[in-house]
Copies of this chain bind each other. A is one copy, B any other.
Amino acid sequence: MAGSPRRPAGRRLQLPLLCLLLQGATAILFAVFVRYDRETDAARWHWGNRSNADNEFYFRYPSFQDVHAMIFVGFGFLMVFLQRYGFSSVGFTFLLAAFALQWSTLVQGFFHSFHGGHIHVGVESMINADFCAGAVLISFGATLGKTGPAQLLLMALLEVVLFGLNEFVLLNLLEVSPDGDGVGGWGWAGPGAERGGRGVAVGARGCPSTSAPPPQVKDAGGSMTIHTFGAYFGLVLSRVLYRPQLEKSKHLQGSVYHSDLFAMIGTIFLWIFWPSFNSAPTALGDGQHRTALNTYYSLTASTLSTFALSALVGEDGRLDMVHVQNAALAGGVVVGTSAEMMLTPFGALAAGFLAGAVSTLGYKFFTPILESKFKVQDTCGVHNLHGMPGVLGALLGVLVAGLATHETYGDGLESVFPLIAEGQRSATSQAIHQLFGLFVTLMFASVGGGLGGLLLRLPFLDSPPDSQCYEDQIYWEVPGEHENLVQGALRAEEPETQA
């Protein structure tokens, strides 16, 4: 540790200066644009003379807190599996997500709650900002260990904007031409945009209790907007940053016994709170209730299929911790779009089972090919946990939306598929919109990831050398592991008189 200094001042100063610059910029933008919404503003709330019990805080804050735990505890510790990259995994998660929360408040605010020259914030914007941070952390997982913190902040700077843009297109703009063949062009959604104009502060994901425009594409839990987008953004970015000499740090790429246990903290917190993740932004009442229930069952099934497949393909029938840590979560991803729909409990089990199986097999067979053939070094295997299950989830959304009927949803159709309920769209048309949303998301993610990769390759940016990837020491003061313990034990052996 007392080695010679490795980094010139120009590189050492990148992280602190970038942090200060970004924080200064967002603070100024907050001062100019961000205001309390009518549920958090003292004057406006009391002016409305509503019962305190009606404040949206009580309907969404418990779910928000679960989401918040997933972002910081879940993602943070899930990535601690690397033996010498724990400080960076949990620390950079912390830094990136903290920045993304501020920045996405601004970006999403401009797209979804910009009225009278101001962005209005409350518990819904908090949930949406955490969702955007989740997408950034998924991309971080693809590039884990191979990028410095300043690079990662730049990645977040770009990705948050593209996330917001993609989400805006899917929710507000995407309207497949009704006279076309269903795969034709998309344009500005006239009526929706109009209504948006007179709307008040609303959640990005279209809570129907407000006067926001009804979403063109449904994606409450973000199979498309969060998981597919975050994964393919990160994978393409990782492709652009491909390091042919990465085996120089191969000895650091694995886990050790207790780093795997730390990672299980992340896994379990993600797993238990995923029902809250998918249900946090949905319609109140039966909507949140059903979404949580479907997600709960889907996760149980992906857990069973993960254990089954992991043991089936494991050497001597042994289970692999990488599968359990990751693929067991695929059940949450795969119902991100459809959990608020009438998926049925059986549908949730079937979807979860499939996602867990695909994800496990992906880790076993596809990740090596991804590196050798496609030159994508996917550290956390986000393609298996977020990429493929996200795409499957989008397709499941296509299917379940296409099956929507008035009989099944009753008056609840207005909450889940307002455009169908209002007669503006058939179920088939909604399905086509959903499918088109997937293509748009893949396009935004790929182009964005490519741009991000080029940005991060700027030669003056501080990046770890090949031999020091997956290594905390380059960015952190790292204490020893055992020396002091041994010294302590030796001293403890010495006889001593009581004070």
Contacts and interface: CB of A to CB of B under 8 A. Distances in A.
Interface string A330-368: 000000000000101110011001000000000000000
Interface in A218-271: 251-252, 254-258, 260-262, 264-265, 268-269, 271
A424 interface: no
B123 A293 contact: yes
Interface stretch (A63-71, A183-191, A433-441): A63-71
Contacts of A265: 73, 77, 265
**Which residue of A15, A101, A465 has the most chain B CB atoms within 10 A of its CB atom?**
A15
Interface string A5-45: 11100011101110110110011001100111001111111
Interface string A453-466: 00000000001111
A334 to B, nearest CB: 15
A477 interface: yes
B491 A34 contact: no
Nearest to A297: B102
B467 A496 contact: yes
A415 interface: yes
A381 B389 CA distance: 41
A464 B478 CA distance: 29
Interface stretch (A158-166, A195-203, A405-413): A405-413
Contacts of A321: 87, 91, 476-477, 479
B90 A15 contact: no
A304 B22 contact: yes
B317 A284 contact: no
Copies of this protein in the assembly total: 3
Interface residues of A, number: 168
A83 B485 contact: yes
CB-based closest 7 A-B pairs: A43-B410, A42-B412, A12-B317, A52-B285, A465-B499, A19-B308, A45-B286
B43 A301 contact: no
A277 B350 CA distance: 30
Contacts of A468: 492, 496
Q: What secondary structure prevails in chain A residues at the interface with B?
A: helix
Contacts of A210: none
A118 to B, nearest CB: 11
A173 interface: no
Given A6-B316, A20-B308, A485-B84, A467 B479 contact: no
A308 B485 CA distance: 29
Contact of A300 (B102, B342, B344, B467): B102
Contacts of A11: 317
B484 A254 contact: yes
B498 A73 contact: no
Nearest to A325: B91
A71 to B, nearest CB: 8
